[in-house]
Structure 1
């Protein structure tokens, strides 16, 4: 498939490029609002450079991966959807849930393929739990914990995207940016709706305009408990941080530490290591699945509807915390 990477200055651009190469996609072009950045990125990777966004719409690829500043992404996403081009929409795609909801409604109107890359949906613990569930071996979910704590907010200034920690642009702090992965995981595993039981959203260390730590406690209609923790409080600028995805059900305990993962099952007494893909390279799994679904003309695993649902729950958490 031919894919255009639109938004080379996004901090995930290199991850998406790696993912596209790994799944055999053809990179049809590189574009960015900063034309010189896109030109340099394209030259560095020996790829075609696209100067004008309208070129993408007039000579459409099989799919556009759109990423960039939340103030301009919605209009460009709208143009891609209205042109009938399948879209992979990187977050943050808007500064508010309202703006994102309008985009979701447009996608529904056009019956558009809009995939949102939330790669931890393809992590080893989630994948192994889904296999057990399909075999009838998982049992009911009891409790889960999703922790994603990275280094300080200065990391985004170093990446040239300081707007991520401007609440008027990014729409929030660690919860909105990182916690959305855990909230999406909880929504994907919950039975019925999720209720917010408790929330803590604080500037514990960095005193930035946005929170550097958030903790949510959620409960689903069946009584399963979900804890989501997100932060910019890990004491290192190196990738990885403090990561743990834990799923506990009647018959299974699955734990993903990022660089290793295990699965224990009561019915056979086994504790096994799971095949691992590092969080930074799980975009490979996400991209492979997305392009496969696009080829088969079936909906994406994570859609803009899922994105809006996670954003809405985070809005509720901010409101409860009085932020």
Structure 2
């Protein structure tokens, strides 16, 4: 049985990870830390100890097999370093930091220590990504591809309603939609093409909700081999969130919308020059935290490499930080 704890668990993804754990019969949550009403209620409901901060938890809870790391983004590197110091494996929720320059010392410590970890970049498990990653990489190796990734979710009020008002405060959260959501999709550009992102240009908008942090961001990316991508994220949709994947190349066009379907268009053998629908699949809008947990367990047991690492997050976060700097967000 894996004994795990949740560190600084005042975060909206905690319930998703908890739900995933319930589908595993070999993982048990034994404690959590946090100082808000959410963790107070959840720990009471689960009948597990609640500590005021992660240091208290780590000092008192022994024989932990691994921990989940949440917390305010700028504090995450310190939490990871403490776990590395104690030799405790961890699964961390993105973005793992406030600015990209916080991560190289942690990455170095991970390599030196050999502590195992996994990052919950769960959009890597989205159905169109899992189904067509190899196909897209093959097409990318044959010529240029262009990727459009869009996730427009609910308004910032949802964080208030869920009990996490810190997410709407620039001095605490360190960023808005680009930091919170953009890291997933910048990462997917490299993941889908198998190519390193080397350049980014983008704009952010802070004028919709006027909270002092970005409620919308649009970024154009270029990879080392010349593939291009557009990433669009925002807190500007009042209704159901919308997530779109559009990938195109010389002889194919893939489009996918969460909660709708996935469609692949291309030239059939012997067909004319007009693209035809080759495949169509349902695209259920679900979270993939169970696959993140499975990757962590496989990593611990030596049965595989982590599906996403802190280096992967760093490669994406470099461009988040750059776009913020270009738009004078930190001024």
Q: TM-score, normalised by structure 1?
A: 0.86
Q: Conserved in 1, the CA contact under 8 Å of 2:91 and 2:118? A: yes
Alignment of 1:309-320 (within 5 A): 309-320=315-326
Q: CA RMSD in A?
A: 2.7
CA distance in 1, matches of 2:19, 2:143: 37
Q: Conserved in 2, the CA contact under 8 Å of 1:113 and 1:299? A: no
**1:295 Cα shift?**
2.2
CA distance in 2, matches of 1:181, 1:143: 17
Residue matched to 1:205: 208
Deviations along 1:135-179, one digit per CA (max 9) or x if unpaired, are x57754511111111122222222232222323332222111111
1:68 maps onto 2:71 in alignment = yes
The 1:246/1:23 distance shift into structure 2, 3 A limit, reads farther
Deviations along 1:90-135, one digit per CA (max 9) or x if unpaired, are 134333222233222221221222211111101111111124368x
Q: Conserved in 1, the CA contact under 8 Å of 2:175 and 2:213? A: yes
Q: Conserved in 2, the CA contact under 8 Å of 1:142 and 1:225? A: yes
Unmatched segments (≥5 aa) in structure 1: none
Deviations along 1:170-229, one digit per CA (max 9) or x if unpaired, are 222211111111111112234544243542211242122011111011122222210000
CA distance in 2, matches of 1:290, 1:277: 24
1:273 maps onto 2:280 in alignment = yes
Instruction: Give the secondary-structure state (helix, strand or coil) at the position aligned to 2:247.
Output: strand
CA distance in 2, matches of 1:206, 1:36: 25
Q: Conserved in 1, the CA contact under 8 Å of 2:220 and 2:230? A: yes
Q: TM-score, normalised by structure 2?
A: 0.84
Alignment of 1:96-111 (within 5 A): 96-111=99-114
Q: Conserved in 1, the CA contact under 8 Å of 2:139 and 2:249? A: no
Alignment of 1:35-50 (within 5 A): 37-44=38-45, 46-50=46-50
Alignment of 1:38-187 (within 5 A): 38-44=39-45, 46-51=46-51, 53=54, 54-56=56-58, 59-132=62-135, 139-140=142-143, 142-187=145-190
Q: Conserved in 2, the CA contact under 8 Å of 1:11 and 1:161? A: yes
Unmatched segments (≥5 aa) in structure 2: 269-275
Residue matched to 2:273: none
Deviations along 1:279-309, one digit per CA (max 9) or x if unpaired, are 4x22222222332233235431110111111
Residue matched to 1:305: 311
Deviations along 1:243-285, one digit per CA (max 9) or x if unpaired, are 1122224454333311133242536565333354424x22222
Residue matched to 2:246: 246
Q: 1:294 aligns with which of 279, 296, 300?
A: 300
Q: How many pairs were matched up?
A: 317
